[in-house]
Amino acid sequence: NPDWPTKIQKLLVANGGPIVNENDFDGLITYFADRLIQDALTAEERSILTDFLAGMPTLNPSTRFLDRVLGLIHVMLSLPQAHRK
């Protein structure tokens, strides 16, 4: 959907402000974990998510941030902590 970048940016602004640096993996993880994960992430889980973001292949640099956001949401929602309550 060509509107996804705009929708994601509006979501970020509405819920605490935009992520200024797309390479701030800790900031991305914290932002979405606060909204999607019901228990605190362990250091190991944060490390895995950071490695995932750092290793994501991107064919189109103009979609890198969106690819990372959507990928991170997908992986976080697959964690058991997202479904405990």
Contact 72, 30 (CB under 8 A): no
How crowded is the C-beta side of 75, counted as CA atoms within 13 Å? Answer: 20
- pLDDT, tens only, 4-32: 677 777 777 776 665 667 788 988 898 88
- Rounded-to-5 percentages of helix, strand, coil across the chain: 65, 0, 35
Cα angle vertex 40, ends 35, 42, to 5°?
130
Give the span between the Cα atoms of 81 and 83, in whole angstroms. Answer: 5
Q: CA–CA separation, 5 vs 69, rounded Å?
A: 10
- Quote the percentage of the chain above a pLDDT of 90: 28
- What's the pTM value of the predicted model, to 2 decimals? 0.77
